[in-house]
Amino acid sequence: MIDSTTGGKASPSLPLSATNNTGNDKSKINNGNTTTTTTINKDDPDWKSKLNIPVKDNRAKTSDVTNTSGHDFEDYCLKRELLMGKVTTSQCELYTKAFLCLGIYEKGWEKPSPIQEHSIPIALTGRDVLARAKNGTGKTGAYTIPVIERIDPEKNAIQAVILVPTRELALQTSAICMEISKHIHLRVMVTTGGTSLREDIARLQEVVQIVIATPGRLLDLVNKDIAKLDSCRVIVLDEADKLLSQDFNHLLDDLIYHLPQDRQIMLYSATFPLTVDDFIKKHMRNPYEINLMEELTLKGITQYYAFVQERQKVHCLNTLFSKLQINQSIIFCNSTQRVELLAKKITDLGYSCYYIHSKMRQDHRNRVFHDFRTGLCRNLVCSDLFTRGIDIQAVNVVINFDFPKLSETYLHRIGRSGRFGHYGIAISLITYEDRFSLHKIEQELGTEIQPIPKQIDPSLYVAEYQMSGDNTNERQQQESNGNASASVKS
């Protein structure tokens, strides 16, 4: 067990430490967060060159996101020439479609990923969609782009609902929606449990066209006749397997009841257990099925384990911190108590650290999430609250301080690194009691978790080693054959 005699709890809303140890200078954290707004002349033939597009990410990417058919975002009814005058389409709609492209490019999305190529054209037709793709391959863009494109900006009503299982994912998704729709000026609202109901009521008295919510809060607003869904013809379930689990106790059935009969339902997830089947049969009409899960784990994540005794875990973690080139890391524990204790231990070791878990006050959770996302701290200790959909591309190292019992939990945890085809590593600290879980998870996921070597190749997870094409062939070979490693760390 982690020693609990180390003192009181550090504030979850502030960095636990601001040390100057190597690897913990916040100015060195590469999070790539730059957003600006541009005024574009619709008649300018050179419109694309005038966009405030983020600096191109030259890191190598895996085939999880590069194995596409070569389409552009403009191919999906979002073409530039839509501005030039289709007789049957209003000028407002024409501007909307072109300006959506502007937001997409200014978000830094260059070309659609495989899940986006498969999903966007079907979703634009209004057909139900059942999409399964790996964590971190662009599922959010696969549904937000068609949802935003189908919104009528002149109609003052809720036209689309996006449901997510956690408050942090709701905030992240709403930020993406607002970024890519900024030239269209759609009204996006986020509402989750733990926030002010009075503020939600006031917001819904104004114009709201897209609602991003957790199911319980939205159903509460609907039952109070505050949120009206009679004009909502699109509903998206992100992390659908979690939303349709027993944790949400059939809330989705009640919400679907309030939607029009001609609604479109879209489900996106990395895993679809049998519990999803009942919902599909009950509510979906001939859904278009997309399955890009030939294998479950991301190609860019190299997985390691280190056998340790429980009392040696903190020492092992300290060794990893001193030897790895960490941009940002997420460290998972199996309980909220261990999250706080470990965060205190890491601070005592001299490393900057946040912690976050579901029992914290919502305003503290929001601040921790925002500050870690913007690179104000290098290390985050958390519970499985942070395993669902959270996309922080600066994270290149995930550590399972406590090894999970379920393969699904393991899959979602390690998917916090290696986002959108980039490279990262996942290291699990394994005790004697964990050895059976390790073998079971390897078998169920069809993956190999290797013993950690004395030296880890930096090109497997450090951005600076991935900027040129020097190691491209080697990395592609590793994708196919796996990484050989014979030496075991004691």
Among 100-104, 113-117, 155-159, 408-412, the least confident range:
100-104
* Statement: residue 445 has pLDDT above 50: yes
Sheet containing strand 353-356, strands side by side: 353-356, 379-382, 328-332, 395-400, 424-430, 301-307, 450-451
Burial status of residue 195 (CB atoms within 10 A of its CB: 0-12, 13-18, 19 or more): middle
Q: List residues bridging with 429 in a β-sheet.
A: 306
Its CATH class, for the domain covering 63-291, is alpha beta
Q: Specify the DSSP class assigned to residue 10.
A: P
With bands split at pLDDT 50, 70 and 90, how would you rate the model's confidence at 490?
very low
Closest Cα to residue 53, out of 35, 77, 80?
35
Q: Specify the DSSP class assigned to residue 277.
A: H
Q: Where in the chain is the domain with CATH 3.40.50.300?
A: 26-30+298-481, 63-291
Backbone angles phi, psi at 219, to 5 degrees: -65, -35
Q: Across residues 30-46, what is the average pLDDT?
A: 49
Angle between helices 139-149 and 114-124 (to 10 degrees): 30
Q: What is the pLDDT of residues 132-150, one digit of tens each?
A: 887 777 888 899 989 998 8
- pLDDT at position 181 is 81
Burial status of residue 75 (CB atoms within 10 A of its CB: 0-12, 13-18, 19 or more): middle
What 3-state class would DSSP assign to 177?
A: helix
Burial status of residue 51 (CB atoms within 10 A of its CB: 0-12, 13-18, 19 or more): middle
- pLDDT at position 95 is 43
Query: How remote is the C-alpha of 305 from its chain's centroid?
Result: 24
With bands split at pLDDT 50, 70 and 90, how would you rate the model's confidence at 160?
very high
Q: Structurally, what CATH architecture does the domain formed by 26-30+298-481 represent?
A: 3-Layer(aba) Sandwich (3.40)
